[in-house]
Amino acid sequence: VMLLDEPTASLDDTNRQVVLELINEAKAAGAALIGIFHDRTAREAVADRHLDMTPASVNHEEYADAR
């Protein structure tokens, strides 16, 4: 299990891509990942499922294959 707290925050484009590739490699190897992403593009590059939340509630839940 990997917990990721904004893993692409403050990275340049090159290093952002490296991190996203490493996350996808970990997924392919069977790792379970839980992450906080404020960058929707980064989230969509790696997430199979996502929840959009506010402090009070879950606003939206979506599975990647539903897009």
**Residue pLDDT, tens place only, 23-37:** 999 999 999 999 999
- Where does residue 51 fall: left (phi above 0), alpha (psi -120 to 50 degrees), or beta otherwise? beta
What is the predicted pLDDT for the residue at 62? 76
Please give the radius of gyration of the chain, using alpha carbons only, rounded to the nearest integer. 12
Average pLDDT over residues 7-13: 96
Decide if domain 2-66 falls under CATH 3.30.300.30: no
The pLDDT confidence band at residue 66, using thresholds 50, 70 and 90, is: low
